[in-house]
Protein backbone atom coordinates (compact mmCIF):
# COMPACT_ATOMS: atom_id res chain seq x y z
CA UNK A 1 0.00 0.00 0.00
CA UNK A 2 2.86 2.37 0.82
CA UNK A 3 4.46 1.64 -2.54
CA UNK A 4 1.24 2.57 -4.34
CA UNK A 5 0.94 5.82 -2.45
CA UNK A 6 4.60 6.64 -3.07
CA UNK A 7 4.27 5.90 -6.78
CA UNK A 8 1.14 8.04 -7.02
CA UNK A 9 2.80 10.92 -5.20
CA UNK A 10 5.88 10.65 -7.38
CA UNK A 11 3.79 10.73 -10.55
CA UNK A 12 2.02 13.87 -9.32
CA UNK A 13 5.29 15.61 -8.49
CA UNK A 14 6.76 14.88 -11.91
CA UNK A 15 3.69 16.13 -13.76
CA UNK A 16 4.22 19.76 -14.90
CA UNK A 17 0.48 20.47 -14.92
CA UNK A 18 0.15 19.51 -11.26
CA UNK A 19 3.21 21.59 -10.39
CA UNK A 20 1.75 24.60 -12.24
CA UNK A 21 -1.60 24.23 -10.48
CA UNK A 22 0.15 23.97 -7.10
CA UNK A 23 2.24 27.05 -7.83
CA UNK A 24 -0.89 28.94 -8.86
CA UNK A 25 -2.63 28.02 -5.62
CA UNK A 26 0.38 29.13 -3.57
CA UNK A 27 0.56 32.45 -5.47
CA UNK A 28 -3.18 33.07 -5.02
CA UNK A 29 -2.96 32.45 -1.28
CA UNK A 30 0.08 34.74 -1.04
CA UNK A 31 -1.70 37.51 -2.95
CA UNK A 32 -4.76 37.17 -0.73
CA UNK A 33 -2.67 37.42 2.45
CA UNK A 34 -0.78 40.43 1.12
CA UNK A 35 -4.04 42.14 0.20
CA UNK A 36 -5.45 41.56 3.66
CA UNK A 37 -2.34 43.01 5.31
CA UNK A 38 -2.20 46.08 3.05
CA UNK A 39 -5.91 46.69 3.58
CA UNK A 40 -5.45 46.63 7.35
CA UNK A 41 -2.51 49.03 7.08
CA UNK A 42 -4.54 51.40 4.91
CA UNK A 43 -7.36 51.37 7.46
CA UNK A 44 -4.94 52.13 10.32
CA UNK A 45 -3.50 55.06 8.33
CA UNK A 46 -7.00 56.36 7.58
CA UNK A 47 -7.95 56.21 11.26
CA UNK A 48 -4.71 57.96 12.26
CA UNK A 49 -5.48 60.81 9.84
CA UNK A 50 -9.00 61.10 11.23
CA UNK A 51 -7.66 61.25 14.79
CA UNK A 52 -5.14 63.92 13.76
CA UNK A 53 -7.85 66.01 12.10
CA UNK A 54 -10.05 65.69 15.19
CA UNK A 55 -7.14 66.72 17.43
CA UNK A 56 -6.41 69.76 15.22
CA UNK A 57 -10.06 70.80 15.39
CA UNK A 58 -10.08 70.38 19.18
CA UNK A 59 -6.91 72.48 19.45
CA UNK A 60 -8.50 75.25 17.38
CA UNK A 61 -11.56 75.21 19.62
CA UNK A 62 -9.40 75.30 22.76
CA UNK A 63 -7.42 78.25 21.39
CA UNK A 64 -10.60 80.11 20.46
CA UNK A 65 -12.06 79.57 23.92
CA UNK A 66 -8.81 80.68 25.60
CA UNK A 67 -8.56 83.68 23.25
CA UNK A 68 -4.92 83.00 22.33
CA UNK A 69 -3.24 83.34 18.96
CA UNK A 70 -0.91 80.71 17.56
CA UNK A 71 2.13 82.74 18.64
CA UNK A 72 0.80 83.00 22.20
CA UNK A 73 0.15 79.27 22.28
CA UNK A 74 3.73 78.54 21.14
CA UNK A 75 5.12 80.93 23.75
CA UNK A 76 3.07 79.21 26.46
CA UNK A 77 4.16 75.77 25.29
CA UNK A 78 7.82 76.81 25.33
CA UNK A 79 7.63 76.98 29.11
CA UNK A 80 6.81 73.29 29.28
CA UNK A 81 9.07 71.88 26.57
CA UNK A 82 12.69 70.88 26.71
CA UNK A 83 15.21 73.36 25.25
CA UNK A 84 16.47 72.42 21.81
CA UNK A 85 20.17 71.60 21.67
Give the pLDDT confidence score for residue 12 in this predicted structure.
78
Give the pLDDT confidence score for residue 85 in this predicted structure.
64
Establish if 83 belongs to a structural domain. Answer: no
Give the pLDDT confidence score for residue 63 in this predicted structure.
80
Establish if 25 belongs to a structural domain. Answer: yes
Over residues 49-74, the pLDDT tens digits come to 999 999 999 888 888 878 888 888 88
Q: What share of the chain is helix, strand, coil (3-state, %, to 5)?
A: 85, 0, 15
pTM strictly above 0.95: no
Establish if 55 belongs to a structural domain. Answer: yes
- Residue 69 domain boundaries: 2-78
The residues near 63 (Cβ < 8 Å, ≥ 6 apart) are: 69, 70, 73
Amino acid sequence: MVEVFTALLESFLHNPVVIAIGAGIVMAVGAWIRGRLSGAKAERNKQALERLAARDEADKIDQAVAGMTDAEVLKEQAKWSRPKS
